[in-house]
Amino acid sequence: MNDKYHVEVGFYQTFHHGEHICGDVFLSKRIPEENRVLCVLSDGMGSGVKANVLATLTATIALNLSIEHKDAKTIAEIIMKALPVCSERNISYATYTIVDVNSDTDEVTILEYDNPQTIVMRSYRVLEPNWEKANFENITADHRLQDLNVATLSPQLEDRIIFCSDGITQSGLGKGLITGWGRNNLREEIRNIITENHSISASELAEKIVKKAAANDLHVPKDDLSCAVVYFREPRRTMICSGPPLSPEKDTEFSEKLRSFSGKKIISGATTTEIISRELKRSVHDEPKVDNTLPPMSRMEGIDLVTEGVLTLSKVIYLLANIITPNYQYGQGPADKMCQLLLESDEIHILVGTKINADNIDLSQPIEVEIRKNIIQRLAKILTDKYMKVVYMEFM
């Protein structure tokens, strides 16, 4: 993990008016073992189901080849063979932008085919990277290669990379803007948004751009509108402590790891709470019960959330896997509060005590209530796979 910045990815889109599926497709993947983040935005020709299929094919190929560290030449060749030229318009059936962030080498590579040129913001100002035509010597000539561009840059804290489909830059065409919104106006809009809210999240910035483009079209979009943002910012961290350490001699070290952690702090488990309360000499106060399906929360000085263990963690996993959406309204219960803290964080450090707690072995409970270690592993997997969080686990 790069200590200088966290790579936050945000995306927002709306459909062509009258369509029920988007012809733009966005895919992203975090590869923790390589400290890489990959993002692909593909715009299928036209709109609706056909465009979506073409864009999905393009984005999937681009993402998989990028994961395998294929060079620009290989990626372009394979995509162009998979997507022949449209016989009527003499262009590819889908365009794409690939952003490959390698935090180990502090390098970002942008590979772009026929999408609006990516915009890079360094804090409040525009940074224009050196764009180069991809080098395709010794391969069959293809006029489409003329539209393939590559740029590299070394990211800094508070940099943003913004890329979009052409529905954004062409918005307003024929509806008050003679030549459409255009890249220059888009760039100025981004600068204004960041000036007003310097810490705006990647998702919020993408949403504002798409909604402005929709307004240019008088809220009747004549094309799919999609925008993705990669934001390099200070990481937000949360630690969860759950379960008593295997050996009581480790209780002090276990509690000190939580006390000294820089970020939000969660304790999950009654026995864990007792240990940390004793070791840190902090009192625990019960809260009123607000979720009839779970034991109530507690309060402890310096701790952001104190909950029961196995049942609460099981419900957190259920909410994360099946219920929570971008517009989800969080409740006041312990599982909702834990989900909110976790999803507001970038790095999640899970400190797991490995002593078997006899209180959790209850044959009357549903079979999905597993021992703590298995539940924590499930939690880590969904946070990593579905929510692109960086998760560290330590067992004591």
pLDDT of residue 369: 35
Tens of pLDDT, residue by residue over 23-54, are 999 999 989 889 999 999 999 988 899 899 99
Please provide residue 230's backbone torsions phi and psi, each rounded to the nearest 5 degrees.
-115, 125
Question: Is 189 found in the same domain as 69?
Answer: yes
Asked, for residue 170, whether it belongs to a domain, the answer is yes
Lowest-pLDDT range, 23-37, 50-64, 80-94?
80-94
Q: Which two tokens stand for residue 392?
A: 């560290």
| Strand duo 6-14 + 390-395: pairing | unpaired
**Rounded mean pLDDT, 249-259:** 95
Q: Which of 179, 207, 233 is the last residue of a domain?
A: 233
Longest dimension (CA), the chain: 76
**CB-based burial, 92-121: b 16+ in 10 Å, e otherwise:** bbbbbbbbbbbbeeeebbbbbbbbbbbbbb
Instruction: Tell me how crowded residue 52 is: count the other CB atoms within 10 A of its CB.
Output: 21
Lowest-pLDDT range, 69-73, 90-94, 275-279, 282-286?
90-94
pLDDT grade for 85, boundaries at 50, 70 and 90: low
Helices and strands in the chain, H and E counts: 10, 18
Q: What is the CATH number of the domain that holds 93?
A: 3.60.40.10
pLDDT of residue 139: 47
Q: Coil, helix or strand for 277? A: helix
End-to-end C-alpha distance for the chain, whole angstroms: 22
Q: Coil, helix or strand for 193? A: helix
Asked, for residue 121, whether it belongs to a domain, the answer is yes
Say how far apart CA 101 and CA 230 lie, in whole Å. 9
Asked, for residue 147, whether it belongs to a domain, the answer is yes
**Rounded mean pLDDT, 346-353:** 93
Q: Is the pLDDT of residue 367 over 70?
A: no
Question: Is 119 found in the same domain as 157?
Answer: yes
Q: Which residues, including other chains, have CB under 8 Å from residue 14's CB and lie 6 or more apart?
A: 22, 210, 211, 214, 221, 224, 225
pLDDT of residue 19: 92
Q: Which two tokens stand for residue 386?
A: 């579905």
Q: Which two tokens stand for residue 369?
A: 């209530």
Tens of pLDDT, residue by residue over 386-395, are 988 989 999 9
DSSP structure string for 152-183: EE---TTEEEEEE-HHHHTTTBTTTBTT-SHH
pLDDT of residue 144: 55
- Tell me the CB-side half-sphere exposure of residue 352, using CA atoms within 13 A: 20
Amino acid identity of 114? D
pLDDT: which is higher, 320 or 326: 320
Question: Is 211 found in the same domain as 256?
Answer: no
pLDDT: which is higher, 136 or 179: 179
- What percent of the chain stands above pLDDT 90? 72
**Rounded mean pLDDT, 89-102:** 83
**Rounded mean pLDDT, 161-173:** 96
Tell me what the pLDDT averaged over the chain comes to. 89
- What percent of the chain stands above pLDDT 70? 90
pLDDT grade for 86, boundaries at 50, 70 and 90: low
pLDDT grade for 326, boundaries at 50, 70 and 90: confident
Q: In which order are the strands placed within the sheet that holds 132-133?
A: 24-31, 36-44, 94-102, 107-113, 148-153, 132-133
Say how far apart CA 294 and CA 34 lie, in whole Å. 39
pTM for this entry = 0.78
Q: Which of 182, 199, 233 is the last residue of a domain?
A: 233
Cβ atoms 242, 282 nearer than 8 A: no
Question: Is 306 found in the same domain as 267?
Answer: yes
Q: Determine the structural domain holding residue 225 and report its residue range.
A: 6-233
Number of domains in the chain: 2
Asked, for residue 1, whether it belongs to a domain, the answer is no
Say how far apart CA 253 and CA 242 lie, in whole Å. 14
pLDDT of residue 363: 45
